[in-house]
């Protein structure tokens, strides 16, 4: 849903981050692949336990190619959020789970939490982002997007922020807002625990963050072409806050799956990595400019998605039903 001309904004006052990262959603759209058994692992986000090992019963079977390896040797970071969205054999059911691992070709997969099934042709709000309860497939930057030939991005994005500096909590709101249906279990202790900027109560889990309509994007003086494409998407569609980073970085949600890995495609296309901790690099400087100018769309509600009014862009056509 694009942002509308009735959108009301308040500056999110996001604090500067040490780096720019990604949070990868594993998106598997191979409904005719042989079924893989997914077993329970309670390793979660532990630094001492292995997600590759099963510690419980079988959770479900899903059509996932055996050569899609998600392991400490291939994933980004030590304990990624690892939300999986997989299209089931009926070609309409999306099953989501977290944190997924598949460490050996020919073997089983593991995960811990399984979320309610979603219909591919339904609303698609919810799923495997544990911090917010929001979808692991919707909003991710997909393979084939943000390339020199792909044109503008035509959907809302998803971002994670450092919760101790940027996400608000109180006993009334519980740290989240529509369309999120939850906040992190540690929200009361960690959200805004290390805040030096003025408090922004609207910046909660599920917030729609956007560059306001009145801002001239040229005024940002962005250095790189992918940043200019992203800035336009942030202004036209915004980005939903779906998870916390746990450390002082920004993260944009990207796809990894049998169809490819967005992070690899980005570096191949643009000649520099999407993950960047160099304060002097043009890309990191661009991300600082974008994130420091993000505002919360305060009237983004179920009744007025995107703030209501005339959308900044035309709506995408509905999915054709082919099952």
> Both tokens of residue 131?
């911090």
- pLDDT of 298 strictly over 70: yes
Separation in Å, CA 68 to CA 141, 213, 260: 19, 41, 10
Whole-structure pTM value:
0.96
Residues 6 or more apart in contact with residue 172 via CB below 8 angstroms: none
- Asked if 28 and 68 count as a contact pair (C-beta separation under 8 A), the reply is yes
How many other CB atoms are there within 10 angstroms of residue 133's CB atom? 21
What pLDDT score was predicted for residue 316? 80
Separation in Å, CA 309 to CA 38, 107, 125, 208, 297: 44, 51, 21, 16, 13
What pLDDT score was predicted for residue 323? 55
Instruction: Report the Cα–Cα distance between both ends of the chain, in Å, rounded.
Output: 25
SS3 296: strand
Q: What average pLDDT does this structure show over 175-190?
A: 97
What pLDDT score was predicted for residue 322? 65
Kindly state the percentage of the chain with pLDDT values over 70: 99
Q: Is 22 left (phi over 0), alpha (psi -120 to 50) or beta?
A: beta
Q: How many residues does the chain have?
A: 323
What pLDDT score was predicted for residue 318? 79
> How far apart are the C-alpha atoms of 87 and 95, rounded to whole Å?
7
Of 262, 70, 277, 292, give the one whose Cα is nearest residue 197.
292
- pLDDT of 321 strictly over 80: no
Q: Where are the beta strands (DSSP E) in 41-178?
A: 58-63, 84-87, 93-98, 109-111, 113-114, 118-119, 126-129, 134, 157-161
How many other CB atoms are there within 10 angstroms of residue 213's CB atom? 15
pLDDT in tens, 7-52: 999 999 999 999 999 999 999 999 999 999 999 999 999 999 999 9
Average pLDDT, the chain: 96
pLDDT in tens, 196-234: 999 999 999 999 999 999 999 999 999 999 999 999 999
> How far apart are the C-alpha atoms of 143 and 255, rounded to whole Å?
6
* Burial classification of residue 280, based on how many CB atoms lie within 10 Å of its CB (0-12 exposed, 13-18 middle, 19 or more buried): exposed
Indicate the domain borders of the chain: 9-22+141-307, 25-134
pLDDT in tens, 262-291: 999 999 999 999 999 999 999 999 999 999
Residues 6 or more apart in contact with residue 14 via CB below 8 angstroms: 161, 165, 166, 203, 250, 291, 292, 294
> How far apart are the C-alpha atoms of 69 and 107, rounded to whole Å?
10
Separation in Å, CA 136 to CA 75, 95, 240: 16, 10, 12
From 18-32, 69-83, 244-258, 307-321, the region with the lowest mean pLDDT: 307-321
- Asked if 294 and 210 count as a contact pair (C-beta separation under 8 A), the reply is yes
What pLDDT score was predicted for residue 319? 76
Q: Which residue has the tokens 């308040």?
A: 10
């Amino acid at each position: 849903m694009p942002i509308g001309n009735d959108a009301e904004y308040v500056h999110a006052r996001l604090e500067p981050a040490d780096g720019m990262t990604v949070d990868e959603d594993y998106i598997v759209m191979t409904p005719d692949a042989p079924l893989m058994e997914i077993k329970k692992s309670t390793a979660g986000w532990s630094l001492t336990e292995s997600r590759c090992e099963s510690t419980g019963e079988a959770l479900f079977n899903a059509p996932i190619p055996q050569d899609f390896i998600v392991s400490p040797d291939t994933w980004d970071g030590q304990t990624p959020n690892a939300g999986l969205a997989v299209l089931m054999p009926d070609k309409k059911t999306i099953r989501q789970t977290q944190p997924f691992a598949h460490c050996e070709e020919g073997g089983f997969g593991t995960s811990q939490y399984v979320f309610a099934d979603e219909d591919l042709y339904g609303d698609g709000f919810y799923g495997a982002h544990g911090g917010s309860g929001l979808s692991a497939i919707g909003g991710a930057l997909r393979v084939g997007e943000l390339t020199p030939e792909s044109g503008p991005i035509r959907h809302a994005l998803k971002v994670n922020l450092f919760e101790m500096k940027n996400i608000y909590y109180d006993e009334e709101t519980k740290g989240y807002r529509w369309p999120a249906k939850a906040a992190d279990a540690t929200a009361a202790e960690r959200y805004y625990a290390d805040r030096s900027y003025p408090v922004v109560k609207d910046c909660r889990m599920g917030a729609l963050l956007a560059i306001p309509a009145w801002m001239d994007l040229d005024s940002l003086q962005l250095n790189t072409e992918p940043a200019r494409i992203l800035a336009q998407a942030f202004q036209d569609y915004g980005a939903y806050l779906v998870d916390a980073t746990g450390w002082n970085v920004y993260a944009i949600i990207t796809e990894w799956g049998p169809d490819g890995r967005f992070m690899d495609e980005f570096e191949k296309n643009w000649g520099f990595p999407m993950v960047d901790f160099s304060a002097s690099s043009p890309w990191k400087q661009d991300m600082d400019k974008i994130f420091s100018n993000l505002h919360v769309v305060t009237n983004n509600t179920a009744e007025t998605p995107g703030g209501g009014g005339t959308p900044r862009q035309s709506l995408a056509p509905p999915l054709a039903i082919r099952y």
